[in-house]
Amino acid sequence: MRRTQSIGQRIDWLTLSIIGILMLIGWLNVASATAGASPVDWFDWGSKQGKQLIWILICSVLAIVILNIEGEFFIRTSILHYVINVALLLAVLVIGKKVGGARSWFGFGSISIQPSEFAKPSAALLLAWLLSRGDGKLRNMKTLLQSLAIVGIPAALTLLQPDAGTTLVFGGLIFALYREGLSGNVLIAGFCALLVTIASILTGASMLDYPLIGSQSAVGLLWMIFVTVGLLVWQLIPNMVVPRNRKRVKRTALISLAASILLSAGVHTGLEQLPRHQRERVQVLFGLDVSNPDADYNIRHAKAAIGSGGLSGKGFLNGPMTAYGFVPEQETDFIFCTVGEEWGFLGSVVVILLFTVLLLRILALAERQRSDFTRVYAYGVVSILFMHYLINVGMVLGLAPVIGIPLPFFSAGGSSLMGFTLLVFILLRLDAERFSVLR
């Protein structure tokens, strides 16, 4: 009976609607950011909002095509899909054109394609394929290593471009692995690593007067604290816990201590090795004093644009910071500034809520699947979208360092829009098949 239902009746209309709304709002904001002072020429196909409209139309067609392809096709081609994309990521390192110091784009005349945008869905697909085979649970070491390889290869290749933002997005697939059985300690360890990193950056930038050796970076003091606390834990914990676990606890404490010191030292030296502008971005984020007055230029102007929006904003097409080029990358990575300035707190919260509902909805979709493949894939989709949302909005609000990645369905750019369309509509097709196809 259900087999006779058309795709239109089985598709998840809530997800589809939110994506449609995001694309529309995104497009309006791109138009505003592009137009500057002049009135918007809505159908000037050469302008950014004109191109974006064309991309939206192309992606709509793409979406319809995807929705009409049997889900089985994506499962069966997931390896091929992945291999092709990894090949493209390799190729772009060699023949890609250099934009802003990174080789992330293939240039074809006036059109540029960013292969990493397409590598994201392919990684999610292959991960789903791997984890849905037989007893492909993460409990066995081999599967775990295979999973990490699927995520790690494109992550490493994008880091080589270098495109740290996309690398982080691949790293976000940890969430999918977590749902499939990866130890929760990994998330906790990740959180601890973040704390150690922040502490290292903060202490690394301040100087202390040590007895005997004079003025040195405070990061040394941090390491001394690590060692002291580590030794204390080493001595104390074994007396408090169940004796038979002592060995394991001791081992964990030792490894954590070593990892902390290594990470801290790594961050410290890593920061020294970074190009100056990137190091300054990180320092600015933590409110550290940077001698270069333009170091926090982007983020200062982004915050000013958003902050000046107030409760209800300055009105569509009425934001002077948007119109007159104060915010860089206004129609792509910093598009959220336009929302903040022109639509104010209310508009910004609406966008935040749209993304939240979208993510939670896909989460719900994932959990209603009988098919392991679809569930794992759906978690992959959530992870990727969430990482984009987290990094992009966090950056614009001055909570994360300046890392250029687009806001899904919102930022101008054909490659990313197409990549996200692929990502989500494959899921919608798979979800629509959830009662009719058994896997």
Partner 1 sequence: MNLRERQWVIGGIILLISLIFIGRLVQLQLGPSAWKDYAARITEEREIIDPARGLILDRSGQILLTNIPSYDLLFTPRQARLAGGLDTLGFSQTIGLDAERLIQELARADAYASYRPSTILKQIPNEEYAQFSGELWRFPGVQSKRRPIRTNTGGYASHLLGEYRETDREDLESQQGYHLGDYKGKSGLELQWEGRLRGKRGLKYHLVDVRNDFREPLSNGAFDSLPVEGENVTTTLDLDLQAYGEQLMGNKRGAIVAIDPSTGEVLAMVSAPSYSTDFLSGKNRGTHYAEMLKDPAKPLFNRTMRATYRPGSIFKMIQGLIALDEGVITTDSRIFCNREIIGCHGNHSLDNLEQAIVHSCNPYFHEVMKRMVQTGKSNNIFQDASDGLARWSPRIKQFGLGTDLGGHLPGLRSGSVPDTTLYNRMYGDKRWAYSTIYSISIGEGELLTTPVHMANLASIMANRGWFITPHTVLDIGGKGKPASLDSLVQTGVNPSAFAPIIQAMQEVVESAEGTGIQAQVPGITVCGKTGTVQDGDRETHSVFMAFAPKDNPRIALSVYVENAGSGGDWAAPIASLMMEQFLNGSVTQKEKEQRILRATYPFSEQ
Residues lying near partner 1 in the complex (CB under 8 A) are found at 36-37, 175, 178-181, 184, 187, 293, 300-301, 303-311, 320-321, 323-326, 340-341, 344-345, 348-349, 352-353, 355-356, 359-360, 363, 366-367, 379, 382, 386, 389-390, 393-394, 397-399
Question: What is the distance between the alpha carbons of residues 272 and 276, in angstroms, rounded to a whole number?
Answer: 9
Question: What is the distance between the alpha carbons of residues 358 and 335, in angstroms, rounded to a whole number?
Answer: 19
Min dist CB 290 to partner 1, Å, is 15
Identify any residues that bridge with 204 across adjacent strands, giving them in sequence order.
none
Min dist CB 86 to partner 1, Å, is 27
Q: Which is nearer to partner 1, 264 or 374 (CB)?
A: 374
* Phi, psi torsion values for 353, nearest 5 degrees: -65, -40
Length reported for the chain: 439
Residues 6+ apart with CB under 8 A from 272: 279
Question: What is the distance between the alpha carbons of residues 280 and 295, in angstroms, rounded to a whole number?
Answer: 6
Q: Which is nearer to partner 1, 81 or 314 (CB)?
A: 314
Q: At 272, list the tokens.
A: 């020294």
Q: Which is nearer to partner 1, 101 or 190 (CB)?
A: 190
Identify any residues that bridge with 216 across adjacent strands, giving them in sequence order.
208
Q: Which is nearer to partner 1, 149 or 399 (CB)?
A: 399
Give the helix/strand (H/E) hosting 14: helix 13-35
Alpha-carbon distances of 229 from 188, 208, 421, rounded to whole Å:
19, 20, 49
Q: Which is nearer to partner 1, 219 or 365 (CB)?
A: 365
Alpha-carbon distances of 83 from 131, 154, 216, 291, 374, rounded to whole Å:
17, 10, 49, 46, 20
Min dist CB 48 to partner 1, Å, is 17
Q: Which is nearer to partner 1, 47 or 348 (CB)?
A: 348
Min dist CB 179 to partner 1, Å, is 5
Question: What is the distance between the alpha carbons of residues 277 and 356, in angstroms, rounded to a whole number?
Answer: 32
Cis geometry, peptide bond prior to residue 162 (ω within 30 degrees of 0): yes
Q: Which is nearer to partner 1, 340 or 413 (CB)?
A: 340
Q: Which is nearer to partner 1, 211 or 293 (CB)?
A: 293
Q: Which is nearer to partner 1, 12 or 341 (CB)?
A: 341
| DSSP track, 338-369 | HIIIIIHHHHHHHHHHHHHHHHHHHHHHHHT-
Question: What is the distance between the alpha carbons of residues 382 and 392, in angstroms, rounded to a whole number?
Answer: 15
Q: Which is nearer to partner 1, 287 or 307 (CB)?
A: 307
Q: Which is nearer to partner 1, 56 or 323 (CB)?
A: 323
Question: What is the distance between the alpha carbons of residues 199 and 316, in angstroms, rounded to a whole number?
Answer: 41
369-372 contacts at long range (C-beta below 8 A, 24 or more positions apart): 369/430, 369/431, 369/434, 370/434, 370/438, 370/439, 371/132, 371/430, 371/434, 371/437, 371/438, 371/439, 372/128, 372/131, 372/132, 372/439
CA angle 118, 385, 160 (to 5 degrees): 50
Q: Which is nearer to partner 1, 38 or 68 (CB)?
A: 38
145 burial (CB, 10 Å; 0-12 / 13-18 / 19+) is exposed
Min dist CB 78 to partner 1, Å, is 22
Min dist CB 298 to partner 1, Å, is 12
Q: Which residue is associated with the tokens 């191109």?
A: 51
Pairing mode of beta strands 111-113, 207-210: unpaired
